[in-house]
Amino acid sequence: EAGVAQSPRYKIIEKRQSVAFWCNPISGHATLYWYQQILGQGPKLLIQFQNNGVVDDSQLPKDRFSAERLKGVDSTLKIQPAKLEDSAVYLCASSLAIGGSTPYEQYFGPGTRLTVT
């Protein structure tokens, strides 16, 4: 079974530029998550999708971050404009379960490492 795919793996941009990350979840997984992991910290949930609807985006900085999951499969996360403090690894995870019923069944991708200079 193929895992969660993310691209690009690395990205370096200047502050105020825009950037987009892509995630392809495990086939058939209804729930998709985007996390931000700042160096030395644990992952923090940014947004959770169930199929193509948003379940939780309470920690997404909506003035600069946006995300979509068209057709309930792939997802993109965008930052515009980027700030220095956005430097982090952006992890995508997916889960077969709906509604967070099995919180331990999240499978993570390798992440995209973003550096904002």
User: What are the DSSP calls for 63-101, one per residue?
Assistant: TTEEEE-GGGS-EEEEESS--GGG-EEEEEEEESSSTTS
Contacting residues toward another protein, per CB under 8 A: 4, 40-45, 48, 55-56, 91, 93, 99-101, 103-106, 108-111, 113
Smaller CB separation from another protein, 19 or 23? 23
Smaller CB separation from another protein, 19 or 48? 48
CA distance 90 to 21: 8
Q: Report the nearest approach of another protein to the CB of residue 109 (Å).
A: 5
Could you tell me how far CA 88 lies from the centroid of its own chain? 11
Smaller CB separation from another protein, 39 or 70? 39
